[in-house]
Amino acid sequence: MNRYFIIVFLIIIFFYSCEQNYYPKPRGFFRIDLPEKQYILFDSVQYPYSFFMPAYALAKPHIVNHDEPYWIDLHFLPFDATLHISYKKVNQNLDVYLEDAHTFVNKHIPKANAINEKVYINEAAHVYGLVYDIEGSEAASPLQFYLTDSTSHFLRGAFYFNFTPNNDSLLPVINYVKEDVTYLIETFKWK
């Protein structure tokens, strides 16, 4: 009996004497799987414009303002984000719409580290615009733009996440979406 007691005692000591060093895991974020790049044509008869949008996005009419029939929201479902697209008919008031677009972007100045502007010109399609790349971990919208033909049409886009973003950790998603929005702008046409 003493012999079994000693063997059991030694086995218990053996298992409890194995010391493991504990190392805390570094803080990390969830891995974000980016969808494959595919595009579909948004060309509805009722809208005065068309463009190619990401296949993973869902286009829905903007239901908040019923007075604006050509406003749409592109829902980027995998990222819980939305590109709000508003449209206005120009009637010798383009300067008012341009000023509004600048005002909306300038509201991000307190939270932004930088606001980079990129001019867009497509003479063949009569599409002219400005893309605002808003940098900063606390900026609500990392990307905004407007497009116009300077005589009849004005379109403004603003990209927002549907939650309080941490743009530092979302940088791969933001860069991915910027490529898709750039393609949208490059394929944009007025009707």
Distance between CA atoms of 121 and 96, rounded to whole angstroms? Answer: 20
C-beta atoms surrounding 89 within 10 Å = 11
What are residue 143's phi and psi, to 5 degrees?
-155, 130
State CA 174 to chain mean position distance: 5
Strand partners, 80: none
Q: Which helix (H) or strand (E) covers residue 71, if one does?
A: none
Domain ranges of the chain: 54-190
Q: Name residue, tokens 């927002």.
A: 160
Q: Name residue, tokens 């995998």.
A: 78
Q: Is the entire prediction scored with pTM above 0.85?
A: no
* pLDDT confidence tier of residue 166, bands split at 50, 70 and 90: confident
Q: Give the pLDDT confidence of 137-150 residue by residue, as tens digits.
A: 788 899 999 999 99
Q: Which residues of 93-132 are buried (b: 16+ CB within 10 A; e: fewer)?
A: ebeebbeebeeebeebeeebeebeeeebeeeeeebebbbb
Distance between CA atoms of 165 and 79, rounded to whole angstroms? Answer: 11
Distance between CA atoms of 140 and 170, rounded to whole angstroms? Answer: 12
Least confident of 44-53, 55-64, 74-83, 145-154: 55-64
Distance between CA atoms of 126 and 30, rounded to whole angstroms? Answer: 42
Q: Give the closest residue to 81 by CA, choosing from 49, 135, 34.
A: 34
SS3 179: helix
Q: Give the pLDDT confidence of 72-116 residue by residue, as tens digits.
A: 999 999 999 999 999 999 999 999 999 999 999 999 888 889 999
Distance between CA atoms of 63 and 66, rounded to whole angstroms? Answer: 6
- Show the beta-strand stretches assigned E in the chain: 39-42, 49-54, 57-61, 72-76, 81-89, 114-122, 127-135, 143-148, 153-161, 189-190
